[in-house]
Amino acid sequence: MVNKLFRTQNMTKLKTLIFFLTVALFSCNKEKTTFPTDKNKTKNSVLKTIIPINISKSTSNLNATNVIVVDDYTVTNEMLTDKTRDNSSYKRKSGEIFSLDKVWFTNDTLKQTLIFELYTDYHRLYIYHLINNDIPSDLIKQIELSVSKSKIDNIFETATLKQKQTYFSGFINSAIKINQNYFTSKKGFRLGDKKEKAISIYGIPDKCSTIENIEKCEWKYEGDYVESEETHPKEKTNKPFAKNSFGYSVIMYFRSNNLIAMIISNDIP
Residue numbers of the domain that contains 46: 2-50
Residues of the chain with pLDDT under 70: 1-65, 83-89, 226-237, 269
Confidence at residue 39, expressed as pLDDT on a 0 to 100 scale: 42
The HSE-up count of residue 230 (CA atoms within 13 Å, CB side) is 2
CATH of the domain at 197: 3.30.1450.10
pLDDT single digits (tens) 197-216: 999 999 999 999 999 999 99
Residues 7 and 98 reside in one and the same domain: no
Residues 87 and 41 reside in one and the same domain: no
Residues 40 and 73 reside in one and the same domain: no
Residues 139 and 67 reside in one and the same domain: yes
Tell whether 172 is covered by a domain. yes
Residues 150 and 221 reside in one and the same domain: yes
In whole angstroms, how large is the CA radius of gyration of the chain?
35
Residues 73 and 45 reside in one and the same domain: no
Number of domains in the chain: 2
Residues 83 and 164 reside in one and the same domain: yes
Confidence at residue 177, expressed as pLDDT on a 0 to 100 scale: 97
Q: For residue 220, which of 238, 240, 236, 200 has the smallest C-alpha distance?
A: 240
Residues 19 and 78 reside in one and the same domain: no
pLDDT single digits (tens) 136-182: 999 999 999 999 988 777 789 999 999 999 999 999 999 999 999 99
CA distance 140 to 166: 11
Residues 6 and 113 reside in one and the same domain: no
CA distance 246 to 223: 4
Confidence at residue 56, expressed as pLDDT on a 0 to 100 scale: 35
Confidence at residue 65, expressed as pLDDT on a 0 to 100 scale: 61
Residues 90 and 213 reside in one and the same domain: yes
Q: Is the dihedral of CA 203, 204, 209, 211 positive or negative?
A: positive
